[in-house]
Structure 1
Amino acid sequence: DSGGGAAPVRAAQASTAAVLPSWRDGAARQAILAFVADVTRAGAPTFVPPAERVAVFDNDGTLWSEQPLYFQFLFLLDQVKAAAPSHPEWKNNAALKALMANDMAALHAQEKQLLPLVMAANSGMTVDEYDKAIRAWLDKSRHPRLNRPFTELVYQPQLELLAYLRANGFKTYIVSGGTIEFMRPWSEQVYGIPPEQVIGSTASIKYEVRNGQPVLVREPKLAFVDDGPGKPVGIYLRIGRRPILAVGNSDGDLQMLEYTTGGAGRRLALLVHHDDAEREFAYDRQSAVGKLDKAWDAATARGWTVISMKQDWQQIYPPPK
């Protein structure tokens, strides 16, 4: 019977075609499908128990866009503008003048003078007040070039990948240089990642009783920076397991990818390359935001999978709401 074996093969092809529909069929998609098949096949030497199926994703430039500036930085700058009238002592600050004139080049040059303003404008309030400020900003703000809400500038192929991994027994985490306060208000609604699975940089927080109410108050300093070598540390402190899959896009993700692939057994490291100026942005080795240089060299040397946004993704963003 020559046709008997063809039907199951066709059925298998159809079922994998329905998976990751926004991913073009190329090396990156095949690497993901092969990896998930290997670690979920009971009895296989590559099998990984569900409790150990930990996948970690960077956020900026990996799950959503990050140009022309990290979206959280745009929020922080708006907080400085809003706070400026209450701080007359800032009026001669060169960074504030550059910000009010919307002169981004001058602002970059005044980074040292800007940082104290950002810290002052984003501290002193309770964590609940700050959460409300972030939600209000995200509701009303639009990307300066793409004119869409920031939470719509998430990558459709990555939303599919997150869902596919969870359907195969993975627990998905964000591990980002951004702060947990900025990501937690929307990560569950947008990515299906609950707040307790968001690892990020952390402001120093203290407990107080204000007007008889117990509150947590933000202080003007960072307690933990979850970037570069901080990412594996954050993973260890918060998850307590070494991931088997890591996805990043820049040199800030290099150590997370190294740490993930440094364990025993089947591992997968994915690196998103922004090479699509037409549908998104094109940048890598020279970029001031999301620089991809050393991590790209490491991917080439170690056989990590590089995702070309231009070649591998049929669609960048979900359709406008």
Structure 2
Amino acid sequence: MKKMTGHIWRLIMVFALLVLLSGQMARAATDPAAALPSWNDSVARTQIIDFVKRTTQEGGADYIKPAERIAVFDNDGTLWSEQPVYFQLIFLMDRIKELAPQHPEWKNQQPFKGILENDMHAVAATGNEGIMAIEHAADVGLTTVEFREKVQHWLDTARHPRFKRPYTDLVYQPMLELLDYLRASGFKTFIVSGGGTDFMRVWTEKAYGIPPEQVIGSTDKVKFEISKGGVPRLVKQGVINFIDDGAEKPVAINRYIGRVPVLAFGNSDGDLPMLQYVAANSLPNLELYLHHDDAEREVAYDRKSAIGKLDKGLDEAAAKGWPVVSMKNDWKTVFPAGNAETKP
């Protein structure tokens, strides 16, 4: 009996400790003094924390009801790296190399010839038509289940050319903290990205805590069919249906969310319409840009970059007072500890 009583007391003590720790974690997530530990004490950090505090204080002039606390984030270059080219494009090019033995004609056809010869200039010269050809060749005929499996295998095995780490290691630690901070404060976080919806949904929940139904991206056509074995399935047609970039981002937000967000975070001119759309909300709102200005720990680029160009967005941010987060000056660290080398 005494042994049983001692066991019960140990369980009670463990439960009490777990409750205490969970309370401490919750306070750390919402306490301004503990929020965003990988951020330096900068103007941008102060503006973020002030916005969250004002909009979640019941009875305050800027209070936003929980149902309307919608925050949208671009993915490539905002939540994870995007250089030397968008990571999904690297996945598609790796798929072309995998399929090449079945297509000897590709040795003489662009953009496939450029991919097989690692000539990115030749691939880039084919423009949007080339990208669509790559998409078609890499995806056509795959079921959505098969596609997810191939994406997961690639994420497990592929390595970034500079950092020699899996691509999902190259998420930004300060942004992970921001997502957690917002959710702990009653915000619902969405991805609104030019990346493929099917590609992102494989890994965003594990990487960011953002579930598949809150991922909005570019889509391709799929067809419902019954297999010869009688199994219902969706088959990818290899044809791009919708590109979620630029002016299409507000369209996608309206279509899939149905509310105008109150916070938007991007890193390129392709995100500018999304930020403008959020800025027009009659509710208190906050628009932010991430400026890639850290050549040592990541990559420095903006106005003249072919990937993630930030030109008009910088000008509009300056004109309207939107916070521009400096990767170099505002972040103590870029990647989660141990995820990537900090030097080339």
TM superposition score normalised by structure 2: 0.87
What is the aligned partner in structure 2 of residue 55 from structure 1?
Answer: 71
Name which of 130, 137, 140 aligns with 1:120: 137
Deviation, 1:320, is: 2.2
Maintained 8 Å contact 2:132/2:239? no
Deviation, 1:115, is: 3.3
What is the aligned partner in structure 2 of residue 264 from structure 1?
Answer: 282
SS of the counterpart of 2:216?
Answer: strand
What is the aligned partner in structure 2 of residue 183 from structure 1?
Answer: 200
The one-letter amino acid of 1:43's match is G
Maintained 8 Å contact 2:111/2:130? yes
The one-letter amino acid of 2:245's match is D
Alpha-carbon displacement from aligned partner over 1:123-152 (angstroms, at most 9, x marks no partner): 211000000000000000110001111001
Deviation, 1:17, is: 2.7
Distance 1:114 1:227, change over 3 A: closer
What is the aligned partner in structure 1 of residue 252 from structure 2?
Answer: 234
**Residues of 2 paired with 1:117 and 1:168: CA distance?**
42
Deviation, 1:206, is: 1.0
Name which of 73, 76, 80 aligns with 2:89: 73
What is the aligned partner in structure 2 of residue 153 from structure 1?
Answer: 170
**Residues of 1 paired with 2:198 and 2:227: CA distance?**
21
Maintained 8 Å contact 1:269/1:304? yes
What is the aligned partner in structure 1 of residue 61 from structure 2?
Answer: 45
What is the aligned partner in structure 1 of residue 216 from structure 2?
Answer: 199
Maintained 8 Å contact 1:79/1:118? no
Alpha-carbon displacement from aligned partner over 1:210-238 (angstroms, at most 9, x marks no partner): 12110001112111111001100111111
Deviation, 1:319, is: 1.3
What is the aligned partner in structure 2 of residue 281 from structure 1?
Answer: 299
Q: In terms of mean alpha carbon deviation, does 142-151 or 112-121 score higher?
A: 112-121
What is the aligned partner in structure 1 of residue 19 from structure 2?
Answer: none
Deviation, 1:185, is: 0.8
What is the aligned partner in structure 1 of residue 236 from structure 2?
Answer: 218
Maintained 8 Å contact 1:228/1:251? yes
Deviation, 1:114, is: 5.4
**Residues of 2 paired with 1:57 and 1:182: CA distance?**
16
Maintained 8 Å contact 1:24/1:311? yes
**Residues of 1 paired with 2:251 and 2:214: CA distance?**
15
Deviation, 1:173, is: 0.3
What is the aligned partner in structure 2 of residue 137 from structure 1?
Answer: 154
**Residues of 1 paired with 2:253 and 2:166: CA distance?**
30
What is the aligned partner in structure 1 of residue 226 from structure 2?
Answer: 209
Ranges in structure 2 where 5+ consecutive residues have no aligned partner: 1-26, 340-344
Is 1:318 the counterpart of 2:336? The answer is yes
Maintained 8 Å contact 1:251/1:290? yes
**Residues of 2 paired with 1:16 and 1:45: CA distance?**
19
Q: In terms of mean alpha carbon deviation, does 79-88 or 291-300 score higher?
A: 79-88
Identity between Structure 1 and Structure 2 (%): 55
Ranges in structure 1 where 5+ consecutive residues have no aligned partner: 1-10
What is the aligned partner in structure 1 of residue 319 from structure 2?
Answer: 301
The one-letter amino acid of 2:238's match is P
**Residues of 1 paired with 2:131 and 2:315: CA distance?**
33
Maintained 8 Å contact 1:96/1:114? no
Maintained 8 Å contact 2:269/2:308? yes
SS of the counterpart of 1:205?
Answer: strand
The one-letter amino acid of 2:113's match is K
The one-letter amino acid of 1:76's match is L
**Residues of 2 paired with 1:205 and 1:94: CA distance?**
25
**Residues of 2 paired with 1:186 and 1:97: CA distance?**
30
Maintained 8 Å contact 2:93/2:134? no
Q: RMSD across aligned C-alpha pairs, in angstroms?
A: 1.6
**Residues of 2 paired with 1:113 and 1:304: CA distance?**
36
TM superposition score normalised by structure 1: 0.93
State the aligned residue count.
310
Deviation, 1:113, is: 4.2
Deviation, 1:91, is: 2.9
